[in-house]
Amino acid sequence: MNQPEHFDHPDVVICAGGPMLLRGDHLVADADSELHRTTRPVSAVCRCGKSANQPWCDATHKALPAKLRP
Amino acid sequence: MIPAPRGALSEILLERIRETDADLSAVAKAEPDGSEDAHLALWVLYELHYRGIAGVDDRLEWDPDLLRLRRGLERAFEAELRVRYGAAAPEHTEPFADALFAYMDGHKGPAVSTYVQRDASREQMTELLRHRSIYHLKEFDPSAWVIPRLPVAPQAALMELAWDEYGTGDPNRLHRHLFARGLAACGLDPGYASYVDDAPLEILEQNNAMSLFGLHRRLRGAALGHLACFEATSSVPSRRLALGLMRLEMPREITDYYTEHVEADAVHDQLAVRAICGSLVEAEPELLDEVFFGAFTCLDLEARYAGWLLDRWQVPAEPRS
């Protein structure tokens, strides 16, 4: 009988060329030390620095050339 | 909501399904007059599986004659979608997530959102909202059919995304409810499928493709590829639409719907591509091409709608960026 598999399920996921995903409830300080509480089951934190909705990702990284993506 | 017929097939279908104990065998044998007629009929048949149709017996959801008709329409539609995909099928590369993102980035069809952000009139904006309402008032529902058909990891990942789409238990945050409130604030009818008679063929095709993929277990790869593409191509256009709505000083409730999708879909595209589709193709590698087929179908049908709408508005089509 096969043993049911165990799956990795990290709380923090760095997406190549994109944001950092945070699972669960967190308090995030932005670059100006302003605090932002997560409001959804998974949140995406901007890593390219270009989001207009800091500290959250707004997919602006998609408009950047590949070499400028995080 | 009872749509107006668009040809002989939708006419006999809409007439007979509202009769008590009607003989539906003639409906099963009827032929469509053309694509709009066929797609309206298919849309009506699918609606029996969602909210039903006013005046139609709920038991007809599983009527063999209607299922026979649906099967014929679905076969023709799926065959057409696969022909369209045939010329655009990718050379698959590794890693999967990078390949799928690159495939979607490489598809530069016409886009509505750039024009809507800068130039659309209030009348054009409300026309777009009426068209979008056919899907947004049942947002995520076609993908929900897939949940019990998945291996463990993609099932958990799909539920993680679905939980957010369905408001994390708060009905006020349910995405379809956010859209209904936005419509009402604009003075539009928030009723389910109220504007189906305004929907062009391209909108019916978009909605029917999602139902087709969602309702057939063998098409689960295409369903999740479509979902991933829908999410991955939503965040940036949602921001443009929100800016267009603010430019036109339209109500905050409808702007909020799109602003919510800027942030939500920046998360959902990563989850859908990496966690949902990534774990699906790991567990069921034979579905890899189906995921790309679903993603292509999403891109292609949106490009067809954008082309139709911009042509109607007499706007030169700009490629999606």
Mean residue pLDDT of chain B comes to 95
On whether both B61 and B183 belong to a single domain, the answer is no
pLDDT of residue A3: 86
Cα separation, B245 vs B38, in Å, equals: 34
Residues 6+ apart with CB under 8 A from B212: B74, B77, B78, B219
Residue B319, in any domain of the structure: no
Across A22-26, B3-7, B178-182, B264-268, least confident range: B264-268
Rounded percentage of chain B residues whose pLDDT exceeds 70: 98
Query: Please, are residues B313 and B124 in contact by the beta-carbon 8 Å criterion?
Result: yes
Edge-to-edge strand ranges of the sheet holding A20-23: A12-14, A20-23, A42-45
Tell me: pLDDT of B321 over 60: no
Chosen for mutation from B233, B265, B270, B280 (greatest number of chain A CBs closer than 10 Å) is B270
On whether both B149 and B207 belong to a single domain, the answer is yes
pLDDT of residue A2: 78
Q: What is the mean pLDDT of residues B67-82?
A: 98
CATH code of B234's domain: 1.20.910.10
B83 vs B22, residue with greater confidence: B83
As for the ipTM of the complex, it is 0.91
Residue B317, in any domain of the structure: no
Query: In B, which residues are within 8 Å of A63 by CB distance?
Result: 236, 321
Confidence of residue B92 (pLDDT cuts 50, 70, 90): confident
Question: pLDDT digits over B96-146, tens only?
Answer: 999 999 999 888 888 899 999 999 999 999 999 999 999 999 999 999 999
Chain B touched by A8 (CB under 8 Å): no
The residues in A 9-38 lying below 8 A from B, measured between CB atoms, are 9, 13, 15-19, 21
Enter the pTM of the model: 0.95
Is B265 in Cβ contact with A56 (below 8 Å)? no
On whether both B46 and B136 belong to a single domain, the answer is no
Confidence of residue B89 (pLDDT cuts 50, 70, 90): confident
Closest CA relative to residue B298, chosen from B277, B314, B284: B277
CA distances from B45 to A68, B51, B208, B223 (A): 48, 11, 10, 19
Question: pLDDT digits over A10-27, tens only?
Answer: 999 999 999 999 999 999
Which among B43, B61, B84 is the end of a domain? B84
Look up the domain containing B79 and give its range: 8-84
On whether both B39 and B183 belong to a single domain, the answer is no
On whether both B49 and B141 belong to a single domain, the answer is no
Please provide the DSSP assignment of A16-32 as one string: TTS-EEEES--EEE-TT
Of A4, A53, A60, the CB nearest to B263: A53
Residue B3, in any domain of the structure: no
Residue ranges in chain A whose pLDDT is less than 50: none
Overall number of domains in chain B: 2
Angle between helices B288-312 and B64-86 in degrees, nearest 10: 90
Domain ranges across chain A = 12-68
Q: What are phi and psi of A20, to 5 degrees?
A: -105, 125
Tell me: pLDDT of B148 over 60: yes
Chain B touched by A62 (CB under 8 Å): yes
Closest CA relative to residue B139, chosen from B260, B275, B289, B303: B260
pLDDT of residue B18: 95
Confidence of residue B193 (pLDDT cuts 50, 70, 90): very high
Which one-letter DSSP state was computed for residue B3?
A: P
pLDDT of residue B108: 81
Confidence of residue B93 (pLDDT cuts 50, 70, 90): confident
Chain A touched by B169 (CB under 8 Å): no
The helix or strand, by DSSP H or E, that contains position B68, with its residue range, turns out to be: helix B64-86
On whether both B174 and B231 belong to a single domain, the answer is yes
On whether both B46 and B135 belong to a single domain, the answer is no
Cα separation, B133 vs B189, in Å, equals: 10
On whether both B96 and B234 belong to a single domain, the answer is yes
On whether both B261 and B113 belong to a single domain, the answer is yes
How many Cβ atoms are within 10 Å of B162's Cβ, its own excluded? 16
